[in-house]
A and B are shown apart, each in its own frame.
Chain A
Amino acid sequence: MANIQFKGIHKSFGSNKIISDFNLKGKEDEFLVLVGPSGCGKSTLLRMIAGLEKIDNGEIFINDQKINELHPSKRQTAMVFQSYALYPHMSVFENMSFGLKIEKRPKEEIASKVKEAAKILKIEELLDRRPKELSGGQRQRVAIGRAITRNPKIFLFDEPLSNLDAALRAEMRVEISKLHNQIKTNMIYVTHDQVEAMTLADRIVILNNGNIEQVGTPDEIYNNPSNIFVAQFIGTPKMNILEISEENMISENILKLFGLEIKFNNIKFEKTKHYIGIRPEHLKFNQKSDFTFNPEIELIENLGNEKIIYLKKDKDQLNAKISSNTEISNKIGFNLQDLLIFDKNKIRIKL
């Protein structure tokens, strides 16, 4: 039960500005995922919450208490590192109980807390082992267990799954999701993997160059991206963005795409460059569509359950994603409601 609030956070390393004016208000018991390309400042933000990095400017509040000057150990946060950071010379039990031992808690309390955490994570039989005798997934569980025993108000995850292989990553993703349902505590999770972000988050914060691009639930982010960066960041393959030059803007509500005149309702275009976005999964073959065009098919990637089709129409490259039992023809269609319009500054124009 905690909420976190950021007010005007600034951070730079030397002359390199990492985060500028970051403002965000968290909700209680929320699973917040910070996602963005590498170097966008998401890990730095997490380390500032933990107290491992100094805050240049601005304030962070946990439950309305300012934590800027608090020692890292007093912030009631627990961090799970990307590299696990388990103490190699201690057993799993010692690793998990180390913080409590430093606090000089009674032995019975330590034992019961470690046992409880081990039970949640199903690592009870590993307690006597050393980290080097564990597999990657088990190490990650121990690292999470160490965080649980600290009984924090906020869990901080710094790309915890990026060292695991794909199958294990999917498994641990589910585990972390279950863990959140089970212990109902605030979690802040940093990742560059959009799948983790979409599947785990209550709310996603999309960062780019230290700025928030959009905050919202996974559904909002997917269906209503507020700009081209967000639209292309979420979804694989990424959204097709087509540039509509000034002369193709025919009137206030009609534009020309692939030679088709498309008419929108409730909109007034300026006579400048615009962008149209359409997700690969919304391009369809041989179905009743509002509009159709004939692109060149350059390559087909068969993924088994679906196919990725690389298309070319005039100068534009497009991807389409179709289920693999669909018959491929050279006629592609799309619907009006699936088109997203962005203005010349790449900001979304909402219909």
Chain B
Amino acid sequence: MKTKNLILFTLISTFFLIFIVSIWKILATLQGLNIQNFNLQIIFIFGVLISFANLRIGNKIKGFYKSILFSLIFVICDGYLIQKLPLWYNIGIFLILYFFVNKINKYSFVNLREQHSTQIIFFEFLTLFGILFFSFVILFPFYMMLITSFKTQIALLVNPLDFSINFGQDLTSLFKSYFVIFESYNFGRYILTSTIVSVGTVIITLIFAIPAAYAIARLNFFGKTFMSTSILIIYMFPAIVLVIPLYTIFSQLGLRNSIEGLLIVYTATTLPVAIYMLQGYFKSIPKELEEAAILDKLSWFGIITKIIIPLSIPAISSVALYVFMIAWNEFLFSLMFLDNPNSFTLSRAIQYLSGDAETPRQYLMAGSVIVTLPVLFIFVYFEKYLVSGLTAGSVKG
């Protein structure tokens, strides 16, 4: 059992090391380093040696020194002696090795003796594989977008496959694309429109969704079950099916090219999910709280505003976040309903610019970064409200 676990552990950790070092090497190549080959055999041998030595040494040396020692040995052999690469590459390799040795530090001969330790090792490294692989896949386009927005037209034309950022230039020229899109492409206006539309959609959706969700969660009325089960039916229709009839209707009503028109469509599309999410949360609020409120002379309206809403802040903020993201990123309806540049939203504006062959790519990418950033910041800020547990302490639990 011990030998089998030992071999498996060494192999898995070695493959993991090869994987992360390879990613670093790919990224380094993108930065313009000329790496002839990946030297996989050498990494493999070192991986096996380090895994084994780590088990062998165990707790005889402090974990910190052990990590430093192994990392240094690897860096000197691989980066300095064999390939002779620049310092920043070697620092990266050093950090990767440090992370790797720390990761395998907790394994020792003792816990390899346990029967199920192979499974634990396997799943732990599988999780790490997954996280690294998918974050690489997802983050790479963002990286592309970001570096392209920092480039000049000439740099893009000279070497389109250069993935490095030239930090040598001063800040004004680095952020030149961002100034240009605000000055000559009117992005300030698009941001304003997008903000009004998104925030407006959030407010209107919540105004309708909170009472509706409360009614479905708590009150008894005719057709309640049908209502609550059919809320999500609207999602059976793809938006493209609705967009053409809506186009004719909006044209006749004069709602095209207007923010009001967009608000109506966006509210209609986000309301069902908002109601669905909220009613689930409202149902989880103990009924006794409302009964206590009734005895405290609160009306239905008072119960909603003074009890239900304060207790549902986590749910309401996640609904608000969801609605905001939908409205901010929405493209199909804005493409169909807006054709006057004065009423463009951000996503529609970027589409408009990219349709124009004259628009330089770095400006488009700068615009895309601007579309992405607010959602990112809002998400980071609201995240703390998404943690539930606000009802803790009201009732036994």
Q: Does chain B have a CB within 8 A of A136?
A: yes
B347 to chain A, nearest CB (A): 38
Contact of B289 with A87 in the complex, beta carbons under 8 Å: yes
Contact mask B275-312 → A, CB, 8 Å, 1/0? 00000000000101101111111100010000100110
What residues of chain B lie closer than 8 Å to A163, measured between beta carbons? Answer: 396
Contact of A98 with B310 in the complex, beta carbons under 8 Å: no
Contact of A73 with B393 in the complex, beta carbons under 8 Å: no
Contact of B288 with A81 in the complex, beta carbons under 8 Å: yes
Q: Does chain A have a CB within 8 A of B395?
A: yes
Near B by CB (< 8 A), chain A positions 120-136 give: 130-134, 136
What residues of chain B lie closer than 8 Å to A82, measured between beta carbons? Answer: 288
Contact of B396 with A73 in the complex, beta carbons under 8 Å: no
Contact of A102 with B393 in the complex, beta carbons under 8 Å: no
Chain A residue at smallest Cβ distance from B299: A102
What residues of chain A lie closer than 8 Å to B390, measured between beta carbons? Answer: 88-89
Q: Does chain B have a CB within 8 A of A78?
A: yes
Q: Does chain A have a CB within 8 A of B391?
A: yes
Near A by CB (< 8 A), chain B positions 155-194 give: none
Contact of A72 with B295 in the complex, beta carbons under 8 Å: yes
What residues of chain B lie closer than 8 Å to A78, measured between beta carbons? Answer: 295
Residue in A52, A79, A83, A103 whose beta carbon sits within 8 Å of that of B286 in the complex: A83
Contact of A52 with B296 in the complex, beta carbons under 8 Å: no
Q: A85-B288, A87-B289 are in contact. Are A99 and B296 (CB under 8 A)?
A: yes
What residues of chain B lie closer than 8 Å to A134, measured between beta carbons? Answer: 393
B295 to chain A, nearest CB (A): 5
Q: Does chain B have a CB within 8 A of A212?
A: no
Residue in A52, A79, A88, A98 whose beta carbon sits within 8 Å of that of B394 in the complex: A88
A325 to chain B, nearest CB (A): 41
Q: A81-B288, A85-B291, A88-B311 are in contact. Are A130 and B393 (CB under 8 A)?
A: yes
Q: Does chain B have a CB within 8 A of A84?
A: yes
Docked pose: A133 CA to B394 CA in angstroms:
10
Q: Does chain A have a CB within 8 A of B392?
A: yes
Residue in A50, A77, A79, A83 whose beta carbon sits within 8 Å of that of B396 in the complex: A83
What residues of chain A lie closer than 8 Å to B307, measured between beta carbons? Answer: 87
A308 to chain B, nearest CB (A): 31
Docked pose: A132 CA to B311 CA in angstroms:
13
Contact of A102 with B296 in the complex, beta carbons under 8 Å: yes
Chain A residue at smallest Cβ distance from B289: A85
Docked pose: A81 CA to B391 CA in angstroms:
16
Q: Does chain B have a CB within 8 A of A340?
A: no
B307 to chain A, nearest CB (A): 7
Contact of A79 with B295 in the complex, beta carbons under 8 Å: yes
B390 to chain A, nearest CB (A): 7
Near A by CB (< 8 A), chain B positions 298-333 give: 298, 302, 307, 310-311
Contact of A103 with B297 in the complex, beta carbons under 8 Å: yes
Docked pose: A83 CA to B291 CA in angstroms:
12
Residue in A50, A89, A103 whose beta carbon sits within 8 Å of that of B311 in the complex: A89
A150 to chain B, nearest CB (A): 8
What residues of chain B lie closer than 8 Å to A87, measured between beta carbons? Answer: 289, 292-293, 307, 394
Docked pose: A146 CA to B296 CA in angstroms:
10
Chain A residue at smallest Cβ distance from B302: A102
Q: Does chain B have a CB within 8 A of A86?
A: yes
Contact of A72 with B294 in the complex, beta carbons under 8 Å: yes
Near A by CB (< 8 A), chain B positions 101-150 give: none
| Most chain A beta carbons < 10 A, residue from B298, B390, B396 | B396
Contact of A73 with B392 in the complex, beta carbons under 8 Å: no
Q: A130-B393, A163-B396 are in contact. Are A85 and B286 (CB under 8 A)?
A: yes
Residue in B294, B296, B393 whose beta carbon sits within 8 Å of that of A131 in the complex: B393
Contact of B291 with A136 in the complex, beta carbons under 8 Å: no
Contact of A86 with B295 in the complex, beta carbons under 8 Å: no
What residues of chain B lie closer than 8 Å to A103, measured between beta carbons? Answer: 297
What residues of chain A lie closer than 8 Å to B294, measured between beta carbons? Answer: 51-52, 72-73
Docked pose: A133 CA to B392 CA in angstroms:
9
Q: A52-B291, A79-B292 are in contact. Are A84 and B297 (CB under 8 A)?
A: no
Contact of B292 with A73 in the complex, beta carbons under 8 Å: no
Contact of B297 with A99 in the complex, beta carbons under 8 Å: yes
Contact mask A81-125 → B, CB, 8 Å, 1/0? 111111111000000001100110000000000000000000000
Chain A residue at smallest Cβ distance from B297: A73
Chain B residue at smallest Cβ distance from A152: B295
Contact of B292 with A81 in the complex, beta carbons under 8 Å: yes
Contact of B392 with A98 in the complex, beta carbons under 8 Å: no
Contact of A88 with B393 in the complex, beta carbons under 8 Å: yes
Docked pose: A133 CA to B289 CA in angstroms:
18
Chain A residue at smallest Cβ distance from B397: A83
Docked pose: A89 CA to B392 CA in angstroms:
9
What residues of chain A lie closer than 8 Å to B293, measured between beta carbons? Answer: 87
The 10 closest A-B pairs by CB, nearest first: A132-B393, A85-B288, A83-B395, A88-B394, A73-B297, A99-B296, A131-B393, A85-B292, A163-B396, A89-B310
**What are 10 residue pairs bridging A and B, where the CB atoms are less than 8 Å apart in the complex?**
A50-B295, A52-B295, A79-B292, A81-B288, A86-B393, A87-B293, A102-B296, A102-B297, A102-B298, A103-B297
- Extra contacts besides A77-B295, A132-B392, A134-B393 (17): CB < 8 Å: A52-B294, A72-B294, A73-B296, A73-B297, A84-B395, A84-B396, A85-B288, A85-B289, A85-B291, A86-B394, A87-B289, A87-B292, A89-B390, A99-B296, A130-B393, A131-B394, A132-B393
